[in-house]
Amino acid sequence: MSMNSVGRQTTPQGSATDSAPSTATGNRALMLKEPLIFESGAYDRTGVDIPDAPEVKSRLGGLERDTVIGLPGLAEGETVRHYTRLSRQNYAIDLGLFPLGSCTMKHNPRLNEKVARMPGFADIHPLQPIHSVQGALRVIHELGEWLKKLTNMPAVSMSPKAGAHGELCGVLAIRSALEARGDAREVILVPTSAHGTNPATAAFAGYKVEDIPATEEGRVDLEALKARLGPDVAGVMITNPNTCGLFERDMKAISDAVHEAGGFVYCDGANFNAIVGRVRPGDLGVDAMHINLHKTFSTPHGGGGPGSGPVVFSEALAPFAPLPFVEEGDDGLLHIIEEETAQEHHDQSFGRMVAFHGQMGMFTRALTYMLSHGADGLRQVAEDAVLNANYVLRAMEDLIDAPFAGAGPCMHEALFSDDNFAEGFSTLDLAKGLIDEGFHPMTVFFPLVVHGAMLVEPTETESKAALDQFILAFRAVAERAIAGDESLKSAPHHAPLKRLDETQAARKPVLVWSDPEPQAEAAE
Ligand X SMILES: *Cc1c(COP(=O)(O)O)cnc(C)c1O
Pair 234, 265: CB distance under 8 Å: no
Shortest spacing between CB 471 and ligand X, in angstroms: 23
Q: Say if CB 418 and CB 442 are below 8 A apart.
A: no
Q: Are strands 443-444 and 233-239 parallel, antiparallel or unpaired?
A: unpaired
Q: Which alpha helices (H) appear in 290-420, and where do they start and end?
A: 293-296, 360-396
Alpha carbons 18 and 368: distance in angstroms, whole number: 47
Nearer to ligand X, 163 or 263 (CB): 163
Does the N-terminal peptide bond of residue 281 adopt cis geometry, omega within 30 degrees of 0? no
Nearer to ligand X, 198 or 461 (CB): 198
435: closest CA among 134, 114, 173, 95? 95
Size of the site for ligand X (CB under 6 A): 14
3-state secondary structure of 60: coil
Q: Please, what is the minimum distance in Å from the beta carbon of residue 202 to ligand X?
A: 13
**CA-wise closest residue to 133 among 356, 368, 333, 327:** 333
The residue range among 221-229, 266-274, 351-359, 405-413 that interacts with ligand X, by the rule CB under 6 A, is: 266-274
Query: Using CB under 6 A, which of the segments 158-166, 202-210, 450-458, 480-488 binds ligand X?
Result: 158-166
Among 97, 155, 158, 162, which residue sits at the site for ligand X (rule: CB under 6 A)?
162
Q: 41 vs 309, which CB is nearer to ligand X? A: 309
Q: Are 282 and 312 in contact, with CB atoms under 8 Å apart?
A: yes
3-state secondary structure 256-301: HHHHHCCCEEEEECCCHHHCCCCCCHHHHCCCEEECCHHHHCCCCC
Which of the ranges 62-70, 159-167, 168-176, 415-423 carries the binding residues for ligand X, by CB under 6 A? 159-167
Q: Rule CB under 6 A: is residue 197 a binding residue for ligand X?
A: yes
Residue 292 binds ligand X, judged by CB under 6 A: yes
- Measured between alpha carbons, how far is 283 from 234 in angstroms, rounded to an integer? 21
Question: Nearer to ligand X by C-beta: 176 or 292?
Answer: 292
Minimal distance, residue 303 CB to ligand X, in Å: 12
How many angstroms separate the CA atoms of 77 and 75, rounded? 5
Compare residues 443 and 488 and give the one whose CB is closer to ligand X. 443
Binding marks (x or -) toward ligand X, 72..111, rule CB under 6 A?
A: ------------------------------x---------
- Distance CA(388)–CA(385), nearest Å, equals 5
| Binding flag, residue 309, ligand X (CB under 6 A) | yes
* Dist CA 189 CA 191 (whole Å): 7
Q: Supply the minimum distance, in Å, between the C-beta of residue 396 and ligand X.
A: 22
Site for ligand X in 224-253 (CB under 6 A): 239, 243
Residue with smaller CB distance to ligand X, 292 or 368: 292
Residue 218 engages ligand X in binding (rule: CB under 6 A):
no
Cβ pair 457, 101 in contact under 8 A: yes
Q: How far is the CB of 416 from ligand X (least distance, A)?
A: 18
CB of 196 to ligand X, least distance (A): 8
CB of 201 vs ligand X, minimal distance in Å: 9
Footprint on this chain of ligand X (rule: CB under 6 A): 102, 162-164, 195, 197, 239, 243, 268, 270-271, 292, 307, 309
